Amino acid sequence: IMALTRPPFPLVWDNTMRSTFVECPRKFLWEYAHHFKPRNESIHLHAGKAWASALETTRMAYYGDGISPKEAQAMGLQKLIEEYGDFPCPPQVAKSLDRMIEAFSYYWAAFPLETDPVQPYRGKNGQPMIEFDFALPLSDSLLHPETGEPIIYSGRADMIATYAGAISIYDDKTTSQLGDSWAKQWNRRSQFTGYAWAARAFGIPATQIVIRGIAILKTMVKHAEA
């Protein structure tokens, strides 16, 4: 019955939805129109969310509240542990809580808060733009087929930052491998062109994208930037 019922057309889209539709319209139909999703969350998604929350907490404590680097990192570590919880990690995946904690320590040793060349851009209110959320109408001519309202495009970048003298869109990624193929996959990636479009809509003249990758492996942690 569900397959024969026309589902409502989504009013709000994001890059994951767009990418899924390009990959497979049928998958998009079941996942985002009929809302059929796997019963259990992927370990990669769960670990990635915990990682992002921990980095955000650390940066907000240091750049926003003026807390010392050591205390800010302790707050971030606590957030990582809380967000990860008791989620079961398959033995073949190197994203257990222990490995995530080790990677968190590695990250701040590689990129100390005090000397990191990536610094948060501060908005007109003087606050650091850590976590850049947006939900904007795509176009007055691109309307929802049922309501006639403009279709909304939403997203969330990890940070608007300054890097090498330029205002930048910044994003952290956890991964299992680094190298040329890792860096090349971001070229003209819709996720980041969307972020740049949104930033300019808010009057933020971002001119580049900076992606920092952390490879969490069984025996080591590595990093790279693109």
For residue 149, give every residue at least 6 positions away whose Cβ sits within 8 Å of its Cβ, in sequence order, or none.
11, 143
Rounded Cα–Cα distance for residues 157 and 46 (Å)? 17
What is 4-62 written as a DSSP string?
GSPPPPPSEE-HHHHHHHHH-HHHHIIIIIS----SS--HHHHHHHHHHHHHHHHHIII
Residue 162's SS3 state is strand
Residue 4 has pLDDT above 80, yes or no: no
At residue 5, the pLDDT reads 66
Rounded Cα–Cα distance for residues 76 and 84 (Å)? 12
pLDDT in tens, 183-213: 888 887 889 999 999 999 999 999 999 999 9
Burial 5-34 (b: 16+ CB within 10 A, else e): eeeeeeeebbbebeebbeeeeeebebbbbe
Quick one: what percent of the chain has pLDDT higher than 70?
Answer: 98
Model pTM? 0.85
pLDDT in tens, 64-113: 999 999 999 999 999 999 999 999 988 888 889 999 999 999 999 999 99
CA angle 6, 32, 129 (to 5 degrees): 140
Using only C-alpha atoms, the chain has a radius of gyration, in whole angstroms, of: 19
DSSP strands (E only) in the chain: 12-13, 119-120, 130-137, 152-163, 166-175, 208-216, 221-225
Instruction: Indicate the length of the chain as a whole number.
Output: 226
What's the mean pLDDT in 142-170?
Answer: 91
What type of residue is 208? Answer: Q
Two tokens, residue 130: 């850590």
At residue 1, the pLDDT reads 43
CA-based nearest residue to 217, from 168, 179, 188, 191: 179
pLDDT in tens, 118-152: 999 998 888 999 999 999 998 877 888 888 888 89
